[in-house]
Amino acid sequence: MGERQRLDKLLGNSGYGSRKEIRNLIRQRRVTVDGDVISNPGIHVEPGVSKIRIDDIEAVYRKYIYIMMNKPGGVISATYDKRHETIIDLLPDEFRSFDVFPAGRLDIDTEGLVLLTNDGQLAHEILSPRKHIPKTYYVHVNGRVIDKDKEAFAEGIVLDDGYRCLPAELEIIESSEVSEVNLTIYEGKFHQVKRMFESLGKEVVYLKRISMGGLKLDPRLGPGKCREITDKELNALKKNS
C-alpha cells in the first residue's frame, strides 16, 4: 500500500499527535508494530500493512485530510507569515500534525471558504487554470449594481491589464447604495473579483467566498472555525474537479 515511512511521521500524519508527543508515547513503550514494543521512533513501517497499536488499540492509517475553514478577515491564507496570523495558526490541535496547506488563497481582507489539505493531487486539480472550477463569492459593492452589469459579467469583463475574463454569473440580491450580489467566476486571477468590479467603476467593500466547485461553506461555521469535510462533500468536490 505504498512506500515505507518512519513510524513517528506516519503516526503524526495520521493525526495521533505531534512528532514530540508520538516520541513520548514510544518512549513510554505504548506503541507496538506487528506485536513488538517499539523503542525507536525512526523505524520504517509499511502504511496500511504494518499493524500498529497504541495502548493496544489499532492505529488507523490516514493519508489525506480535507478541512473546510471559514477564514476571517485579517488572516493570511498561507502556511507561514512573519507579521500576520495565518490560517494554520487557527487550526485546532487535532489537525496540527497533518502537513496541510490551502488549496487556493484569499486576500487578507477576504472571508470565507478555504480548503486545507495535504492531498497535493486534489489541490492541483482544484487550482488548475484549465479546469475552470466555479467559485462563488458573496459581495458588497459600493453603488447600485444593475442588470446591465450582469450582461457585462456574462460577456467577459476586461481587467486593467487588458485581460478579458471568462464569462461570469452575477446574481443581484439587492441593488442599493451598497449593493449585495453573488458572483460566480471560473478562474482565479490576482484580486480578480475586486478588479472585475473596478473595471465597471465600482468598489468591493466586503468579499466572502461561499463555494468552490461542489463544496459549499457550512453556514454554521463561525469566522476562524473549521471542520473536516464529509465524504459526501469530498465526492461533490472531486466530481467538479
Residues that bind ligand URA (CB under 6 A): 106-107, 110, 191-194, 207
Q: How far is the CB of 109 from ligand URA (least distance, A)?
A: 8
Nearer to ligand URA, 175 or 184 (CB): 184
CB 80 to ligand URA: min, Å: 19
Catalytic residue status for 8: no
Count of other CB atoms within 10 angstroms of residue 220: 8
Residue carrying the nine cell digits 491564507: 77
Q: Which residue, 35 or 162, is less far from ligand URA as judged by CB?
A: 162
Nearer to ligand URA, 47 or 224 (CB): 224
Give 216's strand partners: 211
| CA nearest neighbour of 149 among 172, 126, 129, 132 | 172
Q: Which of 81, 107, 109, 218 is catalytic?
A: 107
CB of 128 to ligand URA, least distance (A): 17
DSSP H helices in 28-171: 120-127, 147-155
Choice between 97 and 110, CB closer to ligand URA? 110
Indicate the SS3 state at residue 210.
strand
Q: Which is nearer to ligand URA, 207 or 215 (CB)?
A: 207
- As a whole number of angstroms, the distance between CA 58 and CA 81 comes to 37
**Residue 152: φ, ψ to 5°:** -60, -40
Query: Which three cell numbers, joined as nine digits, stand for 199?
Result: 473595471
- CB of 191: closest distance to ligand URA in angstroms? 4
Query: Which is nearest to 14 in space by CA: 43, 53, 40, 71?
Result: 53
DSSP labels, 35-57: TEE---TT-EE-TTTS-EEETTE
- Which residue numbers are catalytic? 107
